[in-house]
Amino acid sequence: MLRKKLMLAAVLGASLFAGAAYAADPVSIVYIPKNTGNPYFDSIIKGFEDGCKTLGCEFTTVAPASAEATSQIPFLTAQIQRGVNVVAISPNSPDALNQVFDRARSKGTIILSVNSDMPGNEDHRDAAILPVDFTKTGPSQVELLGKQIGYEGEIAILSATTDAPDQNVWIAAMKDTLEKDPKYAKMKLVTIAYGDDDPQKSTTETEALLANYPNLKGIISPTTVGVAAAAQVVETAKKADKIKVVGLGTPNQMRRFIENGTVEAFQLWSPYNEGLLAAHFAVGVKNGTIKNEPGTTFEVPGLGKVTVGEKSVIKTQADLTTFDKKNIADFNF
């Protein structure tokens, strides 16, 4: 009888130990940026890394070399096969990944869209971590350029890829603002160029803009690769006094252009905070301490109280930050 009790205790002890070990398994997260070689995504990655240091989650990152619509599929598939708990991704297309996402979610993998959402395809991901209210990005960029060119003249847009969901949303809002707001009636959008988030192609496209539109007054580039390339071309051409460049860039990337007067101002947000917030949200949802429902609130150290919005969209800040000579020295990312 004593022997049976001892055996039962041993079995229960082993079972409890195994259960504790299982419960202690860290949440595994992979982040898949649009492509490699873009310093913007390095800041998001740093946010994930610091978040996982605090939370004890496992973090890895992989990315394709180019930002084509389907280039992330092999990386996404490999991570799902590896059995990762959470896939955070900055999608290169609003719909090209839907089938892969659906297969992953059917196996219990959490899909987070980070830095851009999937307009019209939100049902294929669990939540979206966005930097700001994206409805404000396009109009803010138009106003930033308009102020610098006296609200009149020919302007162009230098975007990323034709499929980029975030840029396409912003560009649609820019066009709507230019067409409907009488404040911008004298600003004429002459073309939209696509640099594919590649430095060389973005440079070539900007050079073509300057050659093909001799009366060009300004360029809006809502991509960190594009705005730096556009600034470089304008600087080299010594046309900073005639062509104004605005867009979305990082302070470290754009610092020289601000300091030498090539660029008066540009805008962005904190990409680091996106990674930090996404890590906390992912671990909380996986562990059951955060409900992925509109109206849910949770705390993120350094960011305070965060609220899950409609369609499970979560924003890290309210408005864009404008960087110029007055404040750029205060930022380092």
| CATH number for the domain running over 134-268 | 3.40.50.2300
**Which part of the chain is CATH 3.40.50.2300?**
8-125+271-316, 134-268
Q: Which residues of the chain have pLDDT under 50?
A: 1-23
Q: What are the tens digits of pLDDT across the range 2-18?
A: 344 333 333 334 333 33
Structure tokens at 274: 């996106």
Nearest 5°: phi and psi at 193?
-105, 155
pLDDT, residue 332, reads: 86
Tokens 């962005």 locate to: 268
Question: For residue 73, what are the β-bridge partners?
Answer: none
Structure tokens at 89: 């991704």
Structure tokens at 296: 């849910």
pLDDT, residue 24, reads: 58
CB 216 within 8 A of CB 154: yes
> Which CATH superfamily, name and number, covers 8-125+271-316?
Response regulator (3.40.50.2300)
91/58 Cα distance (integer angstroms): 21
CA 48 to centroid of chain Cα atoms = 13
